[in-house]
């Protein structure tokens, strides 16, 4: 699963002596909180000892003492993230106010792993064990010893403190020639204990993978012995629909179908729902977790015996020619399919039901997925590299090189936003400030420009709203759903207020005063354009169906039906993001005057002309 991030390359202050075979020490102060969660100490400890990494505890501690870098390779769920930080803490690596950091690829993984480890250690989350994700810091600077964080947060910390000093040993022996750690990395393979998984394929391709998944769950419940079911769908919309359909079927079929407990799993899930996912299944019940590919490698669910694999996931795609980054539903790779199947064999032999044919798996599925670096718009990444002092982007030693077109596109945009200068260096102060604001660079630029238009107050609120996934949920007129919708809205709104407070502190630090334009929407729109001018579009004159074309690359785009401007179709618009399903849909759209574009970005709209080949 996760990448384990190790403390710096210094030699630890104490040499580890551990005679007790893999001894695990629980802090006695925490007995009450651990037992109140429903798990006794013994049961939690037994669970820890059953994990594959447990046998390697001493070896891991030995290697980290002697090597600057230790790589632990092990299957998802073998205990790398939850156990190794605890082993290090127990061996004194967090003494003297130092921190043990463990990065996770996703925010939800950070939160759930941190909460699990706090429970295992027997402490309140946010004290000895805490986490930091963007806009949410659940750590205590005085007492936190183990900190889970996203890769992005670690990179931000590196910008402020390139040597990551708080993750280092206090009494570093760097500079001493006798006992310096070996610079060669050590690699340790942690053997897994996966059980066999029987794989089933459909005989004919299915026309509707969502319905097929729902039917397969019902069939498993009818025919197969107890064991939880994990279904891989693509995104929140699909998942909500499947949850609804399954719940309707349960109400309709009644009897032993009431034993099914249907749970959605996607990022942005409220805390209470996260807890349900990891809670042990009660006797006589069968949990059905309907998930995005987050449960493929980032999270491990105990008790899963059946996997339903639709063969699709939502993937980020970036086309440097059209300069469009979007999330699209795309077929998964063989590597993903194998990983998904493996999720069924964690507690005993399991079964995986693939909703595609064996022939398709063997002959058409790609062996590996494309690295994210080659599917992404590079604007945020290049700002981060620049802020870390890495200036030679084209000569950078990428683990998976992006295309030169993508690099050039990103440099062009950054230059036109005034974030990079002619020598491709971060500008002062805008470039450095944008690098410091934890937002999409276009939104950061909008925020920094707001003062010029006298509307920093309004833009601060807009930027905060754009930072949460969505404060809106669809309401289908049912009372219960409506109440839930309101609750979710309230939660998201509270989050927006919190983010606004954090951004306000940053703006104060940059010396940007808070000023309201008193509902002068033209000023607000101009400030938005200062960040998003590159996303300008023009309504096709003879278009009957509201087709727009992007000014830069003449791509066909449409206003999203959920927008208040849907069917209003102003002649010129700027959007903030695109979502691609059957078409490219613009979300968060404002109407503009074309002259504002040349005012905001005279270089940009002077030197770029539409490419006739794309018309
Ligand atoms: O990092 P790696 O994928 O090797 O495994 P891990 O995240 O440390 O998970 C080890 C075990 O902890 C798994 O068996 C998980 O089921 C369990 N775990 C849990 O019960 N609740 C969590 N929130 C996270 C992990």
Closest ligand 1 atom number to CA of residue 301 = 16
Assess whether the C-beta atom of 303 lies below 6 angstroms from ligand 1. Answer: no
Question: Best mutation site among 5, 34, 82 for ligand 1, i.e. most ligand atoms within 8 A of its Cβ?
Answer: 82
pLDDT of residue 485: 65
Letter string b/e over residues 601-610, b meaning 16 or more CB atoms within 10 A of that residue's CB: beebbeeeee
Assess whether the C-beta atom of 116 lies below 6 angstroms from ligand 1. Answer: yes
Residues in the chain: 615
pLDDT digits (tens, 9 = 90+) for 330-371: 999 999 999 999 999 988 999 999 999 999 999 999 999 999
Considering only CA atoms, which of 562, 566, 530, 527 is closest in space to residue 548? 566
Of the spans 13-17, 327-331, 504-508, which averages the highest pLDDT?
Answer: 504-508
φ/ψ of residue 218, rounded to 5: -65, -40
| Residue 37: pLDDT over 60 | no
- If you measure from the C-alpha of residue 81 to the centroid of ligand 1, how many angstroms do you get, rounded to a whole number? 7
Closest ligand 1 atom number to CA of residue 112 = 23
SS3 label, residue 502: helix
Residue 69 near residue 16 (C-beta atoms within 8 A): no
Lowest mean pLDDT among 18-32, 140-154, 224-238, 567-581: 18-32
Assess whether the C-beta atom of 74 lies below 6 angstroms from ligand 1. Answer: yes
pLDDT of residue 172: 44
Considering only CA atoms, which of 568, 562, 577 is closest in space to residue 532? 577
| Residue 21: pLDDT over 60 | no
Distance CA 330, CA 325 (A): 14
pLDDT digits (tens, 9 = 90+) for 132-141: 999 999 999 9
pTM recorded for the entire structure: 0.85
Assess whether the C-beta atom of 51 lies below 6 angstroms from ligand 1. Answer: yes
Strands 312-319 and 324-331: antiparallel
Query: Considering the chain, what percentage of its residues have pLDDT values greater than 90?
Result: 69
Average pLDDT, the chain: 86
Residue 550 near residue 535 (C-beta atoms within 8 A): yes
pLDDT digits (tens, 9 = 90+) for 523-559: 999 999 999 999 999 999 887 889 999 998 899 999 9
- If you measure from the C-alpha of residue 228 to the centroid of ligand 1, how many angstroms do you get, rounded to a whole number? 16
Distance CA 397, CA 367 (A): 25
Distance CA 326, CA 504 (A): 30
Considering only CA atoms, which of 494, 491, 489, 490 is closest in space to residue 474? 489
Assess whether the C-beta atom of 78 lies below 6 angstroms from ligand 1. Answer: yes
Name which residue leads in pLDDT, 55 or 605.
Answer: 55
Tell me, what's the ipTM? 0.98
- If you measure from the C-alpha of residue 111 to the centroid of ligand 1, how many angstroms do you get, rounded to a whole number? 12
Residue 527 near residue 445 (C-beta atoms within 8 A): no
SS3 label, residue 309: strand
Question: Best mutation site among 55, 77, 273 for ligand 1, i.e. most ligand atoms within 8 A of its Cβ?
Answer: 77
pLDDT digits (tens, 9 = 90+) for 600-609: 998 888 644 5
Distance CA 420, CA 430 (A): 9
Name which residue leads in pLDDT, 13 or 247.
Answer: 247
- If you measure from the C-alpha of residue 356 to the centroid of ligand 1, how many angstroms do you get, rounded to a whole number? 29
Q: 118: which 2 tokens?
A: 């706090």
pLDDT digits (tens, 9 = 90+) for 413-439: 999 999 999 999 999 999 999 999 999
Q: What average pLDDT does the segment 314-326 reach? A: 87
Residue carrying the six token digits 């998930």: 291
CA 603 to chain centre: 35
Which residue owns the Cα nearest ligand 1 atom 8? 79
Assess whether the C-beta atom of 81 lies below 6 angstroms from ligand 1. Answer: yes
pLDDT digits (tens, 9 = 90+) for 284-314: 999 999 999 999 988 889 899 999 999 999 9
Assess whether the C-beta atom of 86 lies below 6 angstroms from ligand 1. Answer: no
Q: Cis peptide before 8, with omega less than 30 degrees from 0?
A: no
- If you measure from the C-alpha of residue 442 to the centroid of ligand 1, how many angstroms do you get, rounded to a whole number? 37
* Sign of the four-CA dihedral 294, 586, 568, 471: positive
Alpha-helical runs (H) found in 417-541: 430-436, 441-449, 456-466, 479-509, 521-532
**Extended strands (E) in 406-447:** none
Which residue owns the Cα nearest ligand 1 atom 6? 79
Considering only CA atoms, which of 386, 214, 451 is closest in space to residue 310? 214
Assess whether the C-beta atom of 302 lies below 6 angstroms from ligand 1. Answer: yes
Q: What average pLDDT does the segment 245-269 reach? A: 93
């Amino acid at each position: 699963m996760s990448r384990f991030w190790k403390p710096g390359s210094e030699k630890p202050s104490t040499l580890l002596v551990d005679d007790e075979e893999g001894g695990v020490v629980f802090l006695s102060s925490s007995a009450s909180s651990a037992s109140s969660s429903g798990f006794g100490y013994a049961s939690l400890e037994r669970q820890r000892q059953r994990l594959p990494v447990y046998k390697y505890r001493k070896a891991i501690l030995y290697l980290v003492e002697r090597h600057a870098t230790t790589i632990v390779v092990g299957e998802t769920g073998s205990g790398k993230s939850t156990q190794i930080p605890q082993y290090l803490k127990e061996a004194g690596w967090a003494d003297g106010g130092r921190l043990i950091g463990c990065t996770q690829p996703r925010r939800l993984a950070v939160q759930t792993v941190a909460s699990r480890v706090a429970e295992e250690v027997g402490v309140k989350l946010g004290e000895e064990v805490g986490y930091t994700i963007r806009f949410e810091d659940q750590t205590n600077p005085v007492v936190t010893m183990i900190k889970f964080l996203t890769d992005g947060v670690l990179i931000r910390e590196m910008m402020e403190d390139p040597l990551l000093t708080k993750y280092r040993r206090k009494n570093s022996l760097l500079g001493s020639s006798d006992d310096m750690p070996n610079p060669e990395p050590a690699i340790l393979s942690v053997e897994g204990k996966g059980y066999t998984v029987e794989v089933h394929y459909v005989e004919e391709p299915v026309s509707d993978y969502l319905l097929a998944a729902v039917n397969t769950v019902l069939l498993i419940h009818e025919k197969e012995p107890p064991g939880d079911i994990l279904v891989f769908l693509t995104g929140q919309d699909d998942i909500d629909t499947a949850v609804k359909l399954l719940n309707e079927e349960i109400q309709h079929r009644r009897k032993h179908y009431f034993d099914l407990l249907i749970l959605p799993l996607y990022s942005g899930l409220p805390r209470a729902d996260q807890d349900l996912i990891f809670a042990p299944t009660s006797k006589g019940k069968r949990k059905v977790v309907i998930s995005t590919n987050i449960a493929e490698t980032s999270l491990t669910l105990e008790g899963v015996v059946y996997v339903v694999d639709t063969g699709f996931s939502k993937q980020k795609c970036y086309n440097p020619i059209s300069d469009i980054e979007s999330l699209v539903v795309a077929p998964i790779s063989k590597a993903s399919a194998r990983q998904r199947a493996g999720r069924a064999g964690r507690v005993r032999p399991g079964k995986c039901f693939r909703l595609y044919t064996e022939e398709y798996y063997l002959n058409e599925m790609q062996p590996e997925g494309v690295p994210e670096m080659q599917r992404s718009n590079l604007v945020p990444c290049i700002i981060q590299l620049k802020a870390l002092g890495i200036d030679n982007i084209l000569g950078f030693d990428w683990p998976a090189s992006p295309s030169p077109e993508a690099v050039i596109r990103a440099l062009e945009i950054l230059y036109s936003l005034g974030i990079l200068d002619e020598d491709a260096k971060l500008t002062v102060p805008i470039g450095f400030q944008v690098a410091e604001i934890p937002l999409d660079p276009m939104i950061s630029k909008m925020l920094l420009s707001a003062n010029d238009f006298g509307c920093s107050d309004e833009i601060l609120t807009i930027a905060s709203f754009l930072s949460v996934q969505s404060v809106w949920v669809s309401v289908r007129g049912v009372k219960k759903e409506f109440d839930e919708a309101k609750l979710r809205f309230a939660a998201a709104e509270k989050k927006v207020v919190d983010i606004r407070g954090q951004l306000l502190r940053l703006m104060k630090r940059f010396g940007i005063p808070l000023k309201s334009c008193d509902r002068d929407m033209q000023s607000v729109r101009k400030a938005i354009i200062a960040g998003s001018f590159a996303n300008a579009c023009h309504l096709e004159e003879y278009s009957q169906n509201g087709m727009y074309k992007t000014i830069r690359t003449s791509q066909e785009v449409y206003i999203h039906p959920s927008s208040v401007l849907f069917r209003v179709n102003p002649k010129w618009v700027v959007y903030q993001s695109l979502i691609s399903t059957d078409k490219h849909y613009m979300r968060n759209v404002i109407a503009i005057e074309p002259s504002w574009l040349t005012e905001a970005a005279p270089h940009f709209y002077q030197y770029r002309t539409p490419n006739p080949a794309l018309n």
